[in-house]
Amino acid sequence: MEILPEHCLSCVHRLDVYMALLNTLEQFFDLTPDEDDRVDALVIHGIAVELLKECGIVNQGYNLLASALTYAVLDQTLLQNLKGRLYPKVATAHHTTATRVERNIRTSIEGAWTRGDTSVLSKYFGNTVLSAKGKPTNLQFLLVMSDIVHKRCIIPRHPVK
């Protein structure tokens, strides 16, 4: 069994959710443990969890949101069809429905905008949020956050001199 990175051990997630997500990702993307440039799905998930906590997202939807970000970082094309591809994939990993995934993610985003750290949110989202709604859509949120997670996961192939 693979040893979890230290930052993942402090997460409130259950180990079975991590392992189900990792197994699903490995099967879907045909990942092998010895790929040099692959960032482990658990590490991506851990980075997503820390980023969501930083933004003030701590309700029940944050597990689903962290999984959605993990999938989105591994395959950006999933963001092209949230209801048809991303939400069902997250729902399968968490034994729920795609409708519940969408609602929980939306509720988590609303909670961040009403109770979260506004300085952190403005740092990441700036003026990209439409003032009419006052918060980003699920797609806008996932696009920005997956980009941030992806940038934090980049490992250079060659050491910088």
Per-residue pLDDT tens digits for 63-88: 899 999 989 988 889 999 999 999 99
Q: By mean pLDDT, which of 40-44, 47-51, 87-91 is the weakest?
A: 40-44
Whether the predicted pLDDT of 1 surpasses 70: no
Whether the predicted pLDDT of 60 surpasses 80: no
**Where residue 44 falls among pLDDT bands split at 50, 70, 90?**
confident
* Crossing angle for the helix pair 61-74 and 15-29, to the nearest 10 degrees: 20
pLDDT averaged over the chain?
Answer: 76
Whether the predicted pLDDT of 36 surpasses 50: no
**Where residue 9 falls among pLDDT bands split at 50, 70, 90?**
very low
**Is the distance from CB of 45 to CB of 70 less than 8 angstroms?**
yes
Cα–Cα distance for residue pair 55/64, rounded to 1 Å: 15
CA distance readout (Å), 102 to 33, 59, 62, 86, 109: 31, 14, 12, 10, 11
Q: By mean pLDDT, which of 19-23, 36-40, 125-129, 135-139 is the weakest?
A: 36-40
Give pLDDT, residue 81: 93
Sequence-separated (6 or more) residues with CB below 8 Å from residue 154: none
Mean pLDDT of 140-146: 92
Does 15 or 129 have the greater pLDDT score? 129
